[in-house]
Amino acid sequence: MTASIKLANYISEPLIFVHKTYRTSDDLFEGVSKQAFQLGKVRDDFLARVKEREATFPTGIQLENLGVAIPHTDAECVLEEFVAVVVNQEPVEFKSMEDMNQSVPASIVFVLGLNQAHAQLEMLQSLMGLLQNEAILKDIIAATSSQDVLTIVNKNNL
């Protein structure tokens, strides 16, 4: 049996964005993609691919009290695995995973940059566990720095 995938192993300060002011999901994707590309984690087609996939397979999830999104794309455009965490000052609209005609105001967005098929499934399962704990999500949203987010993830053994 393989060890479960932990969010803590995939996040790092340069790809944690707190108090951002992205107006649209495309703005958010551009910000994350630019940073991931500069860090050598993605190919230059990552941005186009993540936008394309989100348009076809939306990732917005409405929880009881807040919305989240978990956009991701094809493994081949990811050079080094990561999970970017984006906490925007105002929620960013994403189409609902369950109904493309519904919008979800996402307060927190996890952009997955994974290049192993099994890792993607396990990371999604791990994140689903986190999404069931709104107290931790609210702590992440209240974080004032990327270091705070790392501390919360590590403290909660995510």
In sequence order, what are the beta bridge partners of 51? none
At residue 1 the predicted structure's pLDDT band, cuts being 50, 70 and 90, is very low
| Chain mean pLDDT for the chain | 93
CB 154 within 8 A of CB 148: no
Which residue has better confidence, 73 or 149?
149
Determine contact, residues 156/136, Cβ cutoff 8 Å. Answer: yes
Q: Is residue 2 part of a domain?
A: no
The backbone torsions φ and ψ at residue 139, rounded to the nearest 5 degrees and listed phi first, read: -60, -45
In a domain, 5, yes or no: no
pLDDT of residue 74: 86
Q: Which domain holds residue 35?
A: 11-155
117-131 helix and 134-142 helix, angle to the nearest 10 degrees: 90
Count the domains in the chain. 1
Does 109 fall in a domain? yes
Mean pLDDT, rounded, for 8-27? 96
Q: Report the pLDDT averaged over residues 80-100.
A: 96
What residue spans of the chain are helical by DSSP H?
25-38, 46-56, 117-131, 134-142, 146-155
Residue of 129, 122, 118 lying closest to 158 (CA atoms) = 129
**Domain presence at residue 3:** no
Q: What is the pTM of this model?
A: 0.95
